[in-house]
Chain A
Amino acid sequence: MAFTKNTDRADTSDKCSGATNYIGDVFFDNMLEAVTVRSPVRRGIIRNIVTPDMPKGYLTVGVDDIPNQNQVSYFRDTCPFFAPGKVSYIGEPVLLVAGPDPATVRKLAKTIHIDCDPIQAIHSLDEALKGDKPPLYGNDNVYIDETFAYGDVDGAFSKAAEVFETETRTGYQEHMYMETQCVVAVPNGDRLEIHASTQGPHALRKVVADALGWDHERVRVVQYPLGGAFGGKIELPFFLAGQAAFAALKANRPVRIVYTREEDLLTTSKRHPSRVKVRSALNSEGNIIAMDVDVVFQAGGYAMSCVMVLDTGLKKATGVYHFPSARVRGRAMATNNPMPGAYRGFGAPQTFFAIETHMNALARRHRLEPLKFKSRYFISQGNSTLTGGKYHFPVALPEVMQEAVRISDYQTRRKQVKADGRIRRGIGQALFNFGAPFSLDTSSPMPPRYMGLLKHMDGTVEILSELVDMGQGLHTALRKIVAAALEMPIERIIHHDADTDCVPEASITGASMSVVLFGRILVDAAEKLKPRLHEPGEIKVQAQVRQPEHLQWDAAKGKGDPFHSYVWGAVIAEVEVDTLTWQVSTTGLWITLDVGTAIDRRIIRGQIDGGVVQGLGYALLESMREDTMTNSLSDYIIPTMLDTPAIKSTLVANPYPPGPYGAKCVGEPPLVGVAPAIADAVADACGVEVYRLPISPEYLMQQMTKSS
């Protein structure tokens, strides 16, 4: 099956004309607006909450209004809807004020005083590791501590001729979806409807029902078009939906929470700040005999999904390399900071920045051509993974690297003169892979999950899935796959935004798994429907979600194949550094990816361009202080049209047999390699290593001063 033609998306026309209704554009009768009253301190015990008398029709909603449990049931660790008598970060929700007039609600919220007995706060991951403040979680502030290893790492280090160590640090990265968080809870008889901008309708339904102590079926989640998400609309909507639900049931009216940009920046999830130490042991011939990686994430006041984000990042921490022995340890630390969470790349941007920066610095130290040096350790098909699994399918890493080198004319550019008056030029590269989806235990049966197809009376076929189009074009890609499997025109295939009353539970949409895994399940469903297409009337078929047959994963031991499939990629970046201002500008970006079979090249290019520019922001611009002072779009700078160079991207075809028509994923990978490639280019231009993100003028000036 060749997917040679780009398909027009069904949502473009309404999005252009402004006719698309996001949840914030919908007004319900008698709807109340709710504003969140938040902790003014980083850490303390709530002694008293002073609330003024509420005018008629206005109310407050807090911990005492939660019918069942003050816990987002999606998470393993404590994650309350409202502060449970104590607060753990500035901005933690304490209560809501709700009422008919938004301006009045905001004024009332400002008059509420939260009186706290302060406790010494833990400000950073270094303070959390040091442990000289009262612990916030357990007795050591560690949400999770896990290690993956093979071979005799300590033995290799004890006999090493050279040990090379680097330490990289990265900060928060904010998703900065253009549509801020918004949800509306609507009481309806003995049921409750949640109208939401979420990446996981069924997961959201469960969280709200569990908090209410209701059967899940009594809650209905209606999905609206998402104004961007990038991982930022998995976790936060749980909190907003629960809070709005408590208020809606108390007031018996629809209640809406819509975040201002300031609230969204201060209190929603972000990429975890990190510190990664990488040590390599080399023998007397200069070959790496062991790699030891120590990852620490700053994981905020409550754990949320840090366990999964860290775990995924760790499994990717040895990069595209197979070393004779390796060990990766990771810890996620509790601190009194806003809660980080899922963000495009899911732990990998931090660990790939660390390993690629280490390998590039090591090559420079040994005066070796970096790509040639790195290719000594390339993973090849049949190699074992960090977790003792196997790279089952062809590894297109050499092809991807050669293609990126070709399209960027890398070797010629490397030889260019670096200095040109006050401007210095440099070129850099980074190699990466991206495993997805993450594996579920294969020794026990998976919970039953389904994808469905419904043939309507008029012959159109509707995809019954809760998977979310958050702008990435997923519904178009899935429609295209189903159209191919049914040999029908794509115009006859429909995919609506989800309504949990109408579509079965499958999964949250994220982790780059939708096309590669659920696309395949839709092919299964299509194979059931195809012989029955000529039958009259409505026909509904379902296919159960199953993992591919090659997979072996023991979740308890952390052994086996951690991911179903791997995307391979290479990024080349060219920069100019102004030695007067230490401002870095990117003058060229080239990226080559193996995404298996390309289902729609125009959509894939959109994912690549967008991911690369988010990676560019991560590398150079996006900086957020951990003390929550970064609260506006004029403080938190994302790339504009003037900050982005031409991006040239190409694909290498390396079909993945278990994927739908050989497709892998594309959502997250393009972001991952950009920051290390830009850092390498800056290092090439300036002759100093770059170990921080973002590469601010201040940091670069410091590095230059240190080296001179």
Chain B
Amino acid sequence: MTRTISFNLNGAPVKADAAHETRLVDLLRNNFGLTGIKEGCGEGECGACMILLNGFPALSCIMAAGAVEGQQVTTIEGLRSSPGFDILAQAFNDAGAVQCGYCTPGMIVIAYALLRDDPAPDEQTIRSAMAGNLCRCTGYAMIVEAVTLAAKRRGEAW
């Protein structure tokens, strides 16, 4: 059984037909080609599938597609054109925070939301806010440094 879901995706109204059991991550990746969203675990443990739902971080692998009916969904693709993204991407580069890159879009999404709400988070705040995003390559310190650097360079970006 399928039904039509209407929601706002990266600033534009969209409609999609989806089976009842479709997960949001599959809807976004398969129907809309938004493959910047990654699936790492399928159970909400790793944060690779992170999106913003009405501006707040949410995990698309443990959400039914139908749950976004009438809501606003922002993915990494939707953040690309924002000044905050440019600052974060540059800081991730400069701090050496990217290795395999599979966790990176999720890391950027959560960091984006963090810096919007907290202009100058200290290290412990960053670590607490991002503890739900797993990375197996970097050991995290360079990611924390990247977010700290982005906060310093934030200007009027958020």
Residues of A near any B CB (own CB < 8 A): 6, 8-9, 11-22, 24-25, 103, 175-180, 225-230, 260-262, 470-473, 602-603, 605-606, 608-614, 632-634, 638-642, 644, 646-647
Tell me whether B139 and A8 are in contact (CB under 8 A).
no
Seed contacts A16-B85, A178-B38; 14 additional CB < 8 Å A-B pairs = A15-B98, A15-B100, A16-B108, A17-B36, A177-B100, A178-B48, A178-B100, A225-B100, A227-B101, A602-B96, A613-B139, A632-B45, A641-B128, A644-B140
Q: Which of B37, B102, B132 contacts A227 (CB 8 A)?
A: B102
Q: Which of A16, A20, A260, A608 contacts B42 (CB 8 A)?
A: A260
Tell me whether B127 and A642 are in contact (CB under 8 A).
yes
List of B residues within 8 angstroms of A6 by Cβ: 96
Tell me whether A18 and B45 are in contact (CB under 8 A).
no
A112 to B36, CA, bound (A): 35
A641 to B141, CA, bound (A): 8
B67 sits at the interface (CB 8 A) = no
| Closest residue on chain B to residue A601 by CB atoms | B96
Known A-B contacts A227-B101, A228-B100; A18 and B136 likewise in contact (beta carbons under 8 Å): no
A610 to B133, CA, bound (A): 15
Tell me whether B139 and A178 are in contact (CB under 8 A).
no
Tell me whether A642 and B93 are in contact (CB under 8 A).
no
**Dominant SS at the B interface?**
loop
Tell me whether B43 and A633 are in contact (CB under 8 A).
yes
List of B residues within 8 angstroms of A103 by Cβ: 19, 21
| Closest residue on chain B to residue A102 by CB atoms | B26
List of A residues within 8 angstroms of B105 by Cβ: 15-18
B77 sits at the interface (CB 8 A) = yes
Tell me whether B40 and A179 are in contact (CB under 8 A).
yes
Tell me whether A228 and B102 are in contact (CB under 8 A).
yes
Tell me whether B93 and A12 are in contact (CB under 8 A).
yes
Tell me whether A261 and B92 are in contact (CB under 8 A).
no
| Closest residue on chain B to residue A471 by CB atoms | B100
Tell me whether A609 and B142 are in contact (CB under 8 A).
yes
Known A-B contacts A609-B141, A642-B128, A647-B141; A16 and B98 likewise in contact (beta carbons under 8 Å): yes
B134 sits at the interface (CB 8 A) = yes
Q: Which of A175, A471, A638, A646 contacts B99 (CB 8 A)?
A: A471
Query: Which residues of B from 27 to 43 have beta carbons under 8 Å from A?
Result: 29, 34-43
Tell me whether B100 and A644 are in contact (CB under 8 A).
no
Return 20 A-B CB contacts under 8 Å, by A number. A8-B93, A15-B104, A16-B89, A16-B101, A21-B35, A22-B38, A25-B35, A179-B40, A227-B102, A261-B41, A602-B96, A606-B137, A610-B139, A613-B138, A632-B43, A639-B139, A639-B140, A641-B127, A641-B130, A642-B128
Query: Which residues of B from 69 to 108 have beta carbons under 8 Å from A?
Result: 75-77, 80, 85, 88-89, 92-93, 96, 98-105, 108
A632 to B130, CA, bound (A): 20
**Number of residue pairs A-B, CB distance < 8 angstroms:** 170
8 A-B pairs with the lowest CB-CB distances in the bound complex, closest first: A18-B36, A471-B100, A15-B101, A227-B102, A609-B139, A613-B139, A471-B99, A25-B35
Tell me whether B142 and A20 are in contact (CB under 8 A).
no
Tell me whether A227 and B38 are in contact (CB under 8 A).
yes
B14 sits at the interface (CB 8 A) = no
**Nearest Cβ on chain B to A172's Cβ, whole angstroms:** 16
List of A residues within 8 angstroms of B19 by Cβ: 103
List of A residues within 8 angstroms of B88 by Cβ: 16
List of B residues within 8 angstroms of A611 by Cβ: 139
List of B residues within 8 angstroms of A610 by Cβ: 99, 136-139
List of B residues within 8 angstroms of A644 by Cβ: 139-141
Q: Which of A20, A612, A632, A633 contacts B101 (CB 8 A)?
A: A20
A647 to B131, CA, bound (A): 17
Q: Which of A12, A473, A603, A608 contacts B92 (CB 8 A)?
A: A12
List of B residues within 8 angstroms of A614 by Cβ: 136, 139
List of A residues within 8 angstroms of B80 by Cβ: 17-18
Known A-B contacts A603-B96, A606-B137, A634-B43; A179 and B102 likewise in contact (beta carbons under 8 Å): yes
List of A residues within 8 angstroms of B104 by Cβ: 15-16, 18
| Closest residue on chain A to residue B37 by CB atoms | A18
| Closest residue on chain B to residue A647 by CB atoms | B141
Tell me whether B140 and A641 are in contact (CB under 8 A).
yes
Tell me whether A230 and B128 are in contact (CB under 8 A).
no
Tell me whether A606 and B36 are in contact (CB under 8 A).
no
A612 to B137, CA, bound (A): 10
A634 to B137, CA, bound (A): 19
List of B residues within 8 angstroms of A640 by Cβ: 131-132, 134, 140
Tell me whether A178 and B43 are in contact (CB under 8 A).
no
Q: Which of A22, A609, A641 contacts B102 (CB 8 A)?
A: A22
Tell me whether B131 and A227 are in contact (CB under 8 A).
no
List of A residues within 8 angstroms of B142 by Cβ: 605-606, 609
Tell me whether A16 and B43 are in contact (CB under 8 A).
no
B135 sits at the interface (CB 8 A) = yes
A437 to B140, CA, bound (A): 28
**Nearest Cβ on chain B to A261's Cβ, whole angstroms:** 5
Query: Could you give, for residues 121-158 of chain B, a 1 whenever the CB lies within 8 Å of some chain A CB and a 0 otherwise?
Result: 00000111011111111111111100000000000000
Tell me whether A633 and B141 are in contact (CB under 8 A).
no
List of B residues within 8 angstroms of A634 by Cβ: 43, 45
B46 sits at the interface (CB 8 A) = yes
Query: Which residues of B from 20 to 65 have beta carbons under 8 Å from A?
Result: 21, 29, 34-43, 45-46, 48
**Nearest Cβ on chain A to B57's Cβ, whole angstroms:** 14
Tell me whether A179 and B100 are in contact (CB under 8 A).
yes
| Closest residue on chain B to residue A642 by CB atoms | B131
Tell me whether A13 and B140 are in contact (CB under 8 A).
no
List of A residues within 8 angstroms of B126 by Cβ: 641
Tell me whether A638 and B136 are in contact (CB under 8 A).
yes
**Nearest Cβ on chain A to B89's Cβ, whole angstroms:** 4
**Nearest Cβ on chain B to A650's Cβ, whole angstroms:** 15
Known A-B contacts A261-B40, A609-B142, A633-B46; A16 and B136 likewise in contact (beta carbons under 8 Å): no
Residue of A9, A227, A612, A638 most packed against chain B (CB within 10 A): A227
**Nearest Cβ on chain B to A138's Cβ, whole angstroms:** 36
A640 to B128, CA, bound (A): 10
**Nearest Cβ on chain B to A518's Cβ, whole angstroms:** 20
